[in-house]
Every structure is written in structure tokens, then in C-alpha cells.
């Protein structure tokens, strides 16, 4: 069952195309990662799904209804990247305020506030004013308010921003527990290592286009390269394998075998079997998600995920005089 689905989704800001026909699908219980350079279209996509921005063309559905439907919004949690909570609130009073906005009864709010703040690790500071909180504590508070009304789908924009390494791990564990409860998480993060650890599937936007989409394993697999290791003391028959058209590259105690176009690894395994060699290691080589991302966007121009505004002045150029 799809929780989020877009089909040929477009958004234009005048002549600027922020989204150029994006089609994605997020199923129930998935942690789905959205990646892209600043300006690639990520924020526009999220705002359309939340009903904050209207699409230009195409379809965008959330929980089986058109994005922006009022009834659907009640089932959605949202942690924006640059949230600004009123700092005169305490953690508990802010949660109570959001609970009222969510329509939670008073007794339920009183019961759930300490429970939820304990889940994110700041229960001991619930009666302190937010102005005394660190950046990481404010981020944890933001996650707590996004989960407070037990939503079906949670949008998290940079959820570990400003959080220490231990806190980042705790937040990853929390996302996994939410997934285990059947919640769907739509994650936007620049920490690609964390996305690789926690996400089931990933989409990469590039200048408003959907460049890649798939599981982390699919995106990081290096097609045509296998790492092979034999039992100690055995020598890999590199010359014989090379005569079959395969490239063989040493990799420490292992070897990398590069497959020719249209060929599989089975002929190599046949050689090893015929020679009576003991195969101890056979893995299709992978690269990190960061490697994939950098390779895709390294030469790309900045995107257009914003309304056209004033042209930035060159460094050292005088500022335009103010109108009086």
C-alpha cells in the first residue's frame, strides 16, 4: 500500500521549473530518504505533499488522498529543518500547546507529554525554558512534537542537525522503532552515511528531475565488479581468467574481477572449481551512498528550488542604495 505517491509532479515559479515531472512511491512502513543538492527541489516536493505549496501539474497523493486534504494533515507529523519554537515556553508547555493544536484531550496531553519527552531523552528538562536548551535538545523537542499525535506518516527534515553522535544514533534507533510500529518516515538529510544506515529506499533529485530511485543496495552496487578470495595458500588463476576476457586486479589478499559487457561471474567460478580451489569470499563490490551522490552531482549546476529573486551582487561590488 502506498502512503506517498507522485506522478509527473511539476512545480513552476514563473519561468523557473523547481520540479520537472517527478514520480515517486513510498510504501507503508518504509523509511524513505530524499537526497539532492541545495536547490534540487527537495523542499518544494515536501511542501507540495504537506499542502503548503500548490503543484503546477501532475499528481501528488498522501495516504490515498490528494496532498493538502485537511483530513490527511491530521495524520501527518512534520519536523521542519529550521524550526523556531517560542523560547519562553518550557518543553512541557510547548508540547501541551501543540497537543491542543492536534486536538488531543487534556488528560491525554498530560499523560503523553512526559512519556514522549522521555522517548527523545529530554524528560529531565521538560520544565526548563526552551531558551536554555542546546541545539540538539531543541531538535529532540521538534521530533517529539512531530510524533505527539501518533501520526501515520512523519516528515523529518534534517532530524539529526546539531545532535551529537550518541544522540544521532538514538534518533536512528527511534526511527527504526517507529518503522517497526508501521509508521512511514520521509527523511531529508545531508548526512548520507546516516541515510545509508537507516533508509529502505532512496530518491535523488537533481535540478528538479528524479535522477535515481531504488533501495540502498541497488544504488550502491557497482555492477560488473566482484571481490573474490580463496583459502589461505591458494593462488588465484589470474592469467587463465584474463584469457576469458575478464580483467583481474589485485586487492590485498583478495582480487577484484571486472566482468566484460554481457558476461556473468559463472565462468570464473567454473575455472576455480575445475582447479579444485576453495572459494572463501565472493561479494559484488559496492560503493558508499556518498560516492554515488557525489558522482552524480559533482558537475551539476545549483538547482532552482526557490523563487527567482534579486541577482546576488559580486563580491566586492558596492551595495545598491536604499530607497527612502
Cβ count near 160 (within 10 Å): 24
Residue 203 has pLDDT above 80, yes or no: yes
The predicted pLDDT at position 322 comes to 47
Q: Quote the CA–CA distance of 172 and 115 in Å, as a whole number.
A: 19
User: pLDDT over 70 for what percent of the chain?
Assistant: 91
> Both 142 and 80 in a single domain?
yes
What 8-state DSSP symbol labels residue 22?
E
Burial of 314 (0-12, 13-18, 19+ CB in 10 A): exposed
What mean pLDDT comes out for the span 47-64?
94
Q: What is the mean pLDDT of residues 286-295?
A: 78
Same structural domain, 26 and 90? yes
Mean pLDDT value of segment 188-200: 87
pLDDT computed for residue 133 by the predictor: 94
Of residues 162 and 246, more confidently modeled: 246
Spacing of C-alpha 43 from chain mean position: 12
Give 317's pLDDT tier (boundaries 50, 70, 90).
very low
Q: Which of 218, 234, 259 is the last residue of a domain?
A: 218
CB–CB of 75/151 below 8 Å?
yes
pLDDT above 80: residue 222: no
Angle between helices 165-180 and 135-147 (to 10 degrees): 10
Q: What is the mean pLDDT of the chain?
A: 87
Does 306 score more than 70 pLDDT? no
The residue written with cell numbers 520521509 in the block is 186
Same domain for 46 and 132? yes
Q: Does one domain contain both 147 and 161?
A: yes
Is the model's pLDDT at 233 over the cut of 50? yes
Give the per-residue pLDDT at 298.
62
Q: Indicate the number of domains in the chain.
A: 2
Same domain, 200 and 240: no
Taking residues 276-302, what's their average pLDDT? 78
What's the rounded Cα separation, in Å, for the pair 201 and 8? Answer: 19
Residue 292 neighbours by CB under 8 Å, 6+ apart: 204, 212, 219, 220
Q: What is the CATH number of the domain that holds 228?
A: 3.30.70
Residues 132 and 253 in one domain: no
287 has a pLDDT exceeding 80: no
What distance in Å separates the CA atoms of residue 251 and residue 199, rounded to the nearest whole number? 30
Q: Edge-to-edge, what's the strand order for the sheet holding 65-66?
A: 16-27, 2-13, 57-62, 65-66
Amino acid at each position: 500500500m502506498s502512503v506517498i505517491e507522485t506522478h509527473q509532479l511539476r512545480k513552476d515559479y514563473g519561468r523557473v521549473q523547481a520540479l520537472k515531472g517527478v514520480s515517486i512511491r513510498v510504501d507503508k512502513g518504509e523509511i524513505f530518504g530524499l537526497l539532492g543538492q541545495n536547490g534540487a527541489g527537495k523542499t518544494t516536493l515536501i511542501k507540495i505533499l504537506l499542502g503548503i505549496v500548490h503543484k503546477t501539474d501532475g499528481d501528488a497523493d498522501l495516504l490515498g488522498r490528494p496532498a493538502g486534504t485537511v483530513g490527511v494533515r491530521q495524520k501527518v507529523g512534520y519536523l521542519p529543518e529550521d524550526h523556531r519554537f517560542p523560547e519562553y515556553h518550557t518543553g512541557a508547555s510547548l508540547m501541551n500547546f501543540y497537543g491542543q493544536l492536534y486536538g488531543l484531550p487534556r488528560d491525554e496531553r498530560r499523560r503523553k507529554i512526559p512519556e514522549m519527552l522521555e522517548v527523545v531523552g529530554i524528560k529531565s528538562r521538560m520544565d526548563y525554558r526552551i531558551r536554555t536548551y542546546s541545539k540538539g535538545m531543541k531538535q529532540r523537542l521538534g521530533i517529539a512534537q512531530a510524533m505527539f499525535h501518533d501520526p501515520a506518516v512523519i516528515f523529518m527534515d534534517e532530524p539529526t542537525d546539531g545532535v551529537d553522535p550518541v544522540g544521532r544514533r538514538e534518533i536512528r534507533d527511534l526511527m527504526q522503532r517507529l518503522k517497526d510500529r508501521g509508521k512511514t518516515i520521509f527523511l531529508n538529510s545531508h548526512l548520507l552515511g546516516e541515510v545509508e544506515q537507516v533508509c529502505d529506499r532512496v530518491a535523488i533529485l537533481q535540478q528538479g528531475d528524479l535522477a535515481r530511485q531504488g533501495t540502498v543496495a541497488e544504488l550502491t552496487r557497482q555492477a560488473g565488479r566482484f571481490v573474490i578470495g580463496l583459502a589461505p595458500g591458494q593462488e588465484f588463476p589470474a592469467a587463465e581468467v584474463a584469457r576469458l576476457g575478464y580483467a583481474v586486479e589485485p586487492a590485498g589478499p583478495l582480487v577484484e574481477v571486472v566482468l566484460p559487457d554481457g558476461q556473468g561471474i559463472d565462468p570464473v567460478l567454473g575455472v576455480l572449481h575445475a582447479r579444485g580451489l576453495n572459494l572463501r569470499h565472493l561479494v559484488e563490490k559496492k560503493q558508499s551512498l556518498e560516492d554515488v551522490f557525489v558522482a552524480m552531482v559533482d558537475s551539476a549546476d545549483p538547482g532552482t528550488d526557490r523563487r527567482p529573486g534579486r541577482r546576488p551582487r559580486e563580491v566586492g561590488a558596492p551595495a545598491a542604495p536604499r530607497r527612502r
